[in-house]
Chains A and B, each alone.
Chain A
Amino acid sequence: MRYILILLISATFFGAAYAQKKVVNSEKKMLVISKGTYKPFFVTKSNKPIPVKAFRMDETAVTNSEFLEFVKANPEWRKSKVNRLFADTNYLRHWENDLSIGKSNQNIYHSPVVNVSWFAVQSYCKWKNKRLPSIAEWEIAGKGAPKNIKYSSLTDYILNWYKRPNLPVLPNVKSTYQNIYGLYDMHGLIWEWTSNFNSYITSTDSRGNNSDDQKLFCAAGSLNVVDKSDYAGYLRFSYRGSLKGNYCIANLGFRCVKNIN
């Protein structure tokens, strides 16, 4: 009798443990990006290649459905309540209302969420016990070679994407290519936020003003660019430089990363 009772109790716990496991399984898949070195796009005497530790990265960008869970749990991030300091008026503008993406928008439930500000996505990653990738981390992950598409060079592939106008309906995640790390859509679907998008790539003893932009983008100054054929990287660099923390843009989403302990 006692054995049966104990067996029953342990079965219950097995059940509970199984349920737990299911919860864990429903979490977004993360993939390991091995350690590497990021060469800053613009070389000066002080910005040497940055060593990057191995980390885990979300398999895909965060989707509208996933972001809805966050908004439900964090009322201050609802469309009608959000502080303009932290998100401009385009915040989630493609959603029907505060707590609904919209029945007529079912085709974007699993598309990357866009129209989200840096403050909002930073808060999302934190809520998931994750964080935003740095530029160095994102660029290393983004360099991973595609494994399921035909392409002559990744740069050509990306430039081809940049050339096309935004599609009226953003496709689902996993609709472009998967790279050698197993990550989907690093290029070809959306642009992604990074933690230090507001970094300043120039020498420490800069005189400020805008002369550094000139150095970078004009004439002889652009000779300092590491890989002049990496026009796609150049575009990402200038795109990030044009952002502000509360900007919400129709082709800008995000994915999170986590340290490996």
Chain B
Amino acid sequence: MMQNTTVMQPLTALAALQSVLENSFAHIVPSKKEEFERRILDLEVALIEDLGRQTNSYCNGGWEEIRDQWRELHNKYERLQIRRQLLHPVSPKEFDAAIRWMAGRGMEKELALLEEVKKKASPFPMEFSPEKINALIDSAQQRIRERLSDPDRVVSEGELTYQRNKEVWDQEYAGEFIAIWNGEVVVHDRDEAEVARKLSELQRHKEPFRAYVVEVGSPNMTAHGPHGGAHRMTRTEDTQP
């Protein structure tokens, strides 16, 4: 069968590039590895942005069908980029902007990352005293916690995760209640009360969080708060992502 070489060549080039880059890591000066990785990540994000624009400009009118995939890809690598900027900032301005970004878009993982930064020595002692860093991070963490426990967000993101994994989870957890948090099933059981108990146990050991509980195959769902509170709903068109 004839291969469509015009389509295959650029896709093959990207995969080949990945392989060459992986091999190249062994030859980078150890003290420069961090900088090298950072440069690659910057280029990857820029490439996603550029290829997204190119795809859009050559699109046959179906951009709406693929734009979410581009956005998700972009957001994923942008998040990695900001996490790296927070841990290894090259300037006070970048450090400051990374913390503010976390306040606006940070999730569970970023809460932990900010905690890590608090414990480290200030990267720029002249501009950021430990007190200043702590105050800024405390405000950012407060914003993240507010966002994480917003029931609307828990429902929309929990439902989106469930719908994405429905085919697999409906088989794997048939007849069970599943608690979804952070894109994963964290607790499952045939008994709903047992799910609530296990969730409380989990919430005691982790950062307080709100989980989305679904009875697999049923329209009933519940958002479980960090202190035993629960909000029950029935899936309708309004709650569908």
The answer to whether A and B interact is no
